[in-house]
A and B are shown apart, each in its own frame.
Chain A
Amino acid sequence: MSGGMLYGGDEIGALVFDPGHHSLRVGYAQEDTPKAEIPAVVGVASDDVKTEPEIKPEENNVSSTPSSNKYYIDTTFLHLPKPNMELHSYMKDGMIENWDLFEQILDYSYEKIIQSESHFHPVLFSESPWNQRQKREKLTELMFEKYKVPAFFLVKNAALAAFANGRATALVIDSGATHTSAVPVLDGYVITNAVVKSPLGGDLLVLRAREMLESIGVDLTPAALIASKEVIREKEKPKFTKKKFNFQPTNSWMTYMVKRTVQDFQQTVLQVSENPYDEKVAMNIPAVQYEFPTGYHQDFGPERFKLAEGLFDHPMLGAGYIASTSAGMCDVDIRPALYSSVVLTGGNSLVQGFSDRLSRDLSSRTPGSMRLKMIAANGTVERRFGAWVGGSILASIGTFQQMWVSAQEYQECGKAQIDRKCP
């Protein structure tokens, strides 16, 4: 594609990337939702049969991954098992960890999702509040050097979520796949030394749910392996046939697919009770029926609540606890403003009952002189994609165009310019 005519046009759309452990959200600024949500794992298959093993790349040109690797990205490709395909996450601790895999994801995003060349579009990235300086600079370098973006910007995801909820000052509670964090934002800037995070997120629920399901003998064979199934009565042994493959799917693929299976169960069935879990209360709430990919189905009663309780009942890591700890680490003067602006975001905050329970737990921890106000967008899109939506709007505001780190600035001042312009 020739880009000549694009240069003449004035409006070149900026792109917004919001990387998480569960997925990468990517799309055009100004749109209401991301164009794609790409799972944050990459399938890597190394070909055992190397046909031309003797061709060596130029010495100074050696890429760290052998050229024989094949990469599989996005749901359709990931869900189909392939011989030797191992799944790897490129995120760790809320930050990009494996840059080779991440570049694969970026290549894919430009080619398949955006379907345009990277040097045309300014790029805004969200990042976790504790992202490290070296990683921020590395990303900046990557975007300017490899992808030749005309302009770049990095914003803390918590600040974006606060803004998208109408608050410049807020205590942002972000519950994602691998962790839940409490992040104080003051006038649009994260107070980094008062961020508190816990490893209790969606993945914990998946883990607990999986243990419970396995303990009662539920077959968790993922839909991708099922060829056909029969309609059966409740709790009856499932009758299904498996798809035939002439190879054994890898363990990492199986683990991931089972996780996706349980994730669906978790999202449909689990609920946080409004008060600390009490079996007697939970018994009286109508059970929920769930059907697994095998066709097996049964009702789930008190377990629904018991499993979700793990997000809140931990004395040091429960969501209410980390929220009040974080507020307590901030200056006394701003605490009232934080308690009166608790913004809830992240996919895991959509577990039924999450916001009511957080509100209850937090109100018992709110100092008497202060008022608690929780702000949680009603729409699931705003909640799951809070940071992306914030970035999408920010990058499209006319006056924001002067805030970008331009390619020219990068050339003149180097990658450290990101620390100056996007603290």
Chain B
Amino acid sequence: MASGVTVSDICKTTYEEIKKDKKHRYVIFFIKDERQIDVEEIGSRDEEYDSFLQKLQAGGAGECRYGLFDFEYMHQCQGTSESSKKQKLFLMSWCPDTAKVKKKMLYSSSFDALKKSLVGVQKYIQATDLSEASQEAVEEKLRSTDRQ
């Protein structure tokens, strides 16, 4: 069951710019006029995770958002001393406890539409607070599906 909220083309093109061209580090999406998911903010390639978190919460404690991030970390293959750089795209829904039920409902019931539009995302993360959205928590989630 879904809200019927749609995804604007600009979301898809911005996503492709990250996925294919590595043009940006992250995108923040929001639901415009309760109708359509749109791009709110684009983070340049050299921005850090902290700035992503900041932008995600820029609307205040009562707001929800979605965020897409091109995450990099070092992966060590077991039994070898080699490590390789891994890159994974994750899509996060940010619905803090403090948000109004109305916002939570709108964002959670529209998340699936965004998921379906952005093909090739490796991980989906639902976050209500920093224990789920922090860099460490996210890295743990991304690593959990790596082969040891």
- The chain A residue sitting closest to B128, CB to CB, is A166
Tell me, yes or no, whether B11 is within 8 Å of chain A by CB.
no
- Using Cβ atoms and an 8 Å threshold, which residues of chain A touch B124? 169, 337
- Chain A interface mostly: mixed
Q: Interface stretch among B18-26, B40-48, B94-102?
A: B94-102
Contacts A156-B1, A166-B126, A399-B4; A394 near B108 (Cβ below 8 A): no
| B138–chain A nearest beta-carbon distance, Å | 12
Q: Interface stretch among A68-76, A157-165, A264-272?
A: A157-165
CB–CB A389/B115 < 8 A:
no
Bound-state CA distance A167–B132 (Å) is 13
Contacts A159-B1, A393-B106; A167 near B95 (Cβ below 8 A): yes
CB–CB B126/A393 < 8 A:
no
Tell me, yes or no, whether B3 is within 8 Å of chain A by CB.
yes
Tell me, yes or no, whether B28 is within 8 Å of chain A by CB.
no
CB–CB B34/A397 < 8 A:
yes
CB–CB A168/B108 < 8 A:
yes
**What is the count of residue pairs linking A and B with beta-carbon distances less than 8 angstroms?**
97
Segment 355-380 of A: residues with Cβ below 8 Å from B: 369, 371, 373, 375, 377
CB–CB B109/A168 < 8 A:
yes
Contacts A167-B95, A393-B102, A397-B106; A422 near B1 (Cβ below 8 A): yes
Q: In the complex, which of the residues A156, A163, A401 contacts B104, with contact meaning CB atoms closer than 8 Å?
A: A163
Bound-state CA distance A340–B35 (Å) is 29
| B116–chain A nearest beta-carbon distance, Å | 9
| B17–chain A nearest beta-carbon distance, Å | 26
Tell me, yes or no, whether B64 is within 8 Å of chain A by CB.
yes
- The chain B residue sitting closest to A375, CB to CB, is B128
| A207–chain B nearest beta-carbon distance, Å | 33
CB–CB A166/B99 < 8 A:
yes
Tell me, yes or no, whether B61 is within 8 Å of chain A by CB.
no
Tell me, yes or no, whether A402 is within 8 Å of chain B by CB.
yes
Q: In the complex, which of the residues A369, A373, A394, A422 contacts B105, with contact meaning CB atoms closer than 8 Å?
A: A394
Q: In the complex, which of the residues A162, A369, A389, A399 contacts B34, with contact meaning CB atoms closer than 8 Å?
A: A399
Tell me, yes or no, whether B139 is within 8 Å of chain A by CB.
no
Tell me, yes or no, whether A203 is within 8 Å of chain B by CB.
no
- Using Cβ atoms and an 8 Å threshold, which residues of chain A touch B97? 166, 375
Tell me, yes or no, whether A212 is within 8 Å of chain B by CB.
no
CB–CB B3/A168 < 8 A:
no
Tell me, yes or no, whether A174 is within 8 Å of chain B by CB.
no
- The chain A residue sitting closest to B94, CB to CB, is A166
Segment 1-20 of B: residues with Cβ below 8 Å from A: 1-6
Tell me, yes or no, whether A400 is within 8 Å of chain B by CB.
yes
The count of chain A contact residues (Cβ–Cβ below 8 Å) is 37
| A293–chain B nearest beta-carbon distance, Å | 36
Tell me, yes or no, whether B112 is within 8 Å of chain A by CB.
yes
Contacts A337-B126, A341-B126, A398-B34; A188 near B1 (Cβ below 8 A): yes
- Using Cβ atoms and an 8 Å threshold, which residues of chain A touch B102? 393
Bound-state CA distance A340–B102 (Å) is 22
- The chain A residue sitting closest to B102, CB to CB, is A393
Tell me, yes or no, whether A93 is within 8 Å of chain B by CB.
no
Q: In the complex, which of the residues A156, A163, A336, A377 contacts B144, with contact meaning CB atoms closer than 8 Å?
A: A336
| A332–chain B nearest beta-carbon distance, Å | 11
CB–CB B95/A188 < 8 A:
no
Tell me, yes or no, whether A187 is within 8 Å of chain B by CB.
yes
Bound-state CA distance A166–B34 (Å) is 16
Tell me, yes or no, whether B52 is within 8 Å of chain A by CB.
no
Segment 108-148 of B: residues with Cβ below 8 Å from A: 108-109, 111-112, 115, 124, 126, 128, 131-132, 140-141, 144
- With A166-B99, A166-B105 given, can you name 17 additional A-B contacts, CB distance below 8 Å? A164-B104, A168-B93, A168-B112, A337-B126, A341-B126, A373-B128, A382-B101, A390-B105, A393-B105, A394-B105, A394-B109, A397-B105, A397-B109, A398-B33, A399-B34, A399-B35, A403-B3
A/B interface sample: 27 pairs, CB < 8 A: A155-B1, A156-B1, A162-B108, A163-B105, A164-B105, A166-B93, A166-B97, A166-B108, A166-B128, A168-B108, A169-B126, A188-B108, A188-B112, A189-B1, A336-B144, A375-B128, A382-B101, A393-B105, A394-B1, A394-B3, A394-B109, A397-B3, A398-B33, A398-B34, A399-B34, A400-B4, A403-B2
Q: Give me the interface of A with B, judged by CB distance under 8 Å.
A: 32, 155-156, 159, 162-169, 187-189, 336-337, 340-341, 369, 371, 373, 375, 377, 382, 389-390, 393-394, 397-403, 422
